[in-house]
Amino acid sequence: MQSIQDRSAPFVNGFSIIFIVFIAVILAGVVHKFLLIPVAIIATILLSGLTIIQPNESNVVTFFGKYVGTIKQSGLGLQQKIC
């Protein structure tokens, strides 16, 4: 049996990610209409990692079934699953 040590998972502020994705989608639509579709797909995939952690709660992050870490900070954030 493997022993697993608790470690902190990478976590980024979600509000800044939403703002960056929103600006990227708008710029893609203004610069070139055909660029809007791939940027929108990438934005959807990126925003699927947003998570809300309530106070006094935690979230376990796994990547392909392997333990990555635990998020203990409360708030809106993006789980970075690729380490």
pLDDT (tens digit per residue) in 1-59: 677 788 887 778 888 889 988 998 899 888 888 888 898 898 888 888 888 889 998 88
Cα–Cα distance measured from residue 59 to residue 72, given in angstroms and rounded to the nearest whole number: 7
Q: Mean pLDDT over residues 61-74, rounded?
A: 84
Q: What is the mean pLDDT of residues 69-77?
A: 85
* Total-model pTM: 0.69
Q: What's the confidence (pLDDT) of residue 19?
A: 92
